[in-house]
Structure 1
């Protein structure tokens, strides 16, 4: 019996060594998956049947690291999205990305996070099976709506999408457990999926980081990874990753939603190439109307716009500690939505925000200043802000408690 146990321990040890050699990545702690205990494990045959042998007719998305197919499992009863890591990705350490997504999405569930159904790791394949989210990405709707056959998004629809993303990120940052926090590290419009009701779901957790909440410091030092145009400059320069790095990227998404422009557009001149710099410059110069998408559905009340732009600018603060938390962003975006929906009213009460430091402010104070109690006057027409209002906006953008 003792000999049998010893042999079994040796086998387990060798299997662990094999997995570590196959999936090891300096930037990611290896996580060995206990089959059947985390999520459903599909056979390769099930995956091939679901995707008709990875037929290109069922291809719904692709990038440098993976291809995504629409498939049917459980005898056609369930529509799924099948993400198949590419050979190049696997050779470049894609195993850690594979394990990260399984670990992350098996532990953390939220209505604004894409749901993981299962995985397949047979015959050197690395495949993830997600719920099928039918209406494409936020990027598709903002930049490729004509090509994809989507209707343009109204301002209220855009606000609701932003609120959903902010709620999902807030859950990752604060609500997963008392011991762990998650930093997504790749927040961008192509990683925001939309369902039939245009409800947002955050996707792609391959480079996310789990941070212990009681570690005694607010950042984790790591190899810099992310997407050009959305990457936090402070993280890029120092390698110190914080939750505020996600906040910065989300600020880019907010301006992307407002303007309909891409985070980076190489077809434009140097001044307008990067959305972050251009949007901030327009705010400082009092030219906010130039940022707004020209789509006819983008009818925005002045007060809703002001609240939205101020919180978006705060997200892009060069000092991470001066950026708002996702909880604060959620409340201000909900406030902006209320202002837009109640544009026949003269006053919308500001919701209370509790910051990490225990200080309290209101959404009204965030967009109007703590020393001002004057309510917003609603403008029923599409806004082009006066220079005076723009000056107030650009000079009063300040940090909420970090």
Structure 2
């Protein structure tokens, strides 16, 4: 596991316009506590334009990992916010998360937004990005003073024709447009209707929800698009929502292989090798001598994982989890803290990650 700390006004920073000193203090603290860096949740909880630029710059100066769900006080989680994010990076390393989230057709036709995004990525090699293949997004259903706290949630309600307030959220849950992410046993499931509404109320609205807002065209185009030199325009296929039932890397990814959109080798690169390089995990992502013996055995017909081997040990097989334990991916700055919590650190040097190397090649 690896962690990054979110930057949210009133939670981890004092306001939507934190100073460079405050941002540096936050980044240094979380590095020492084992995190790789920070994530700007601009699409959900925006900072000012200036503060966003300060955060990206401060993280670069401290050698920290920086991820960004595009959006500021000036532009939201859409193609305008994505293009603004590229400008605010100003050549610094930036993981611009889930590119498909900015190509939903909310500003321009979705195909036009997709091509604008691809053009911006090609012109800015300091940007690392990924996209995901599920129609579902993930956001918060928390209500603050009668309104959804997340700006993304408000946008999703508007897209579905609902009011951007507490009543609209309730109506969206009852209709099935909003789906509550509900832990049922060892699985995360989706709830709709009255049971979803009642669970949301019972949790004082502090639940996550999903909306089917990702059009299929941008999902396929972004997963398969290549640059003039033959390299992928979008580095990886992945999702940051591990606790949301939208991890369709194998079923959707193998469907693209069967359709001829990707070769099997290209799919492996985009869902395994590239994410490993992003985190600076030199011993993972490929099967060669001296690398970690981490292997997933896939059932091609079912388009699902049959078994997982980690470090030579079978940890999952045919629907049953057999392994236990794990390691925390951290930098040298956080290794001692991870150990102090009774956990095992896996120390990486972010200078070796593809995120930082992209900037060096600029």
Give TM-score, length-normalised by structure 1. 0.23
Q: Which has the higher helix share?
A: 1
Find the structure with the greater CA-based Rg. Answer: 1
Of structures 1 and 2, the one with the larger relative CO (CA 8 A, separation 6+) is: 2
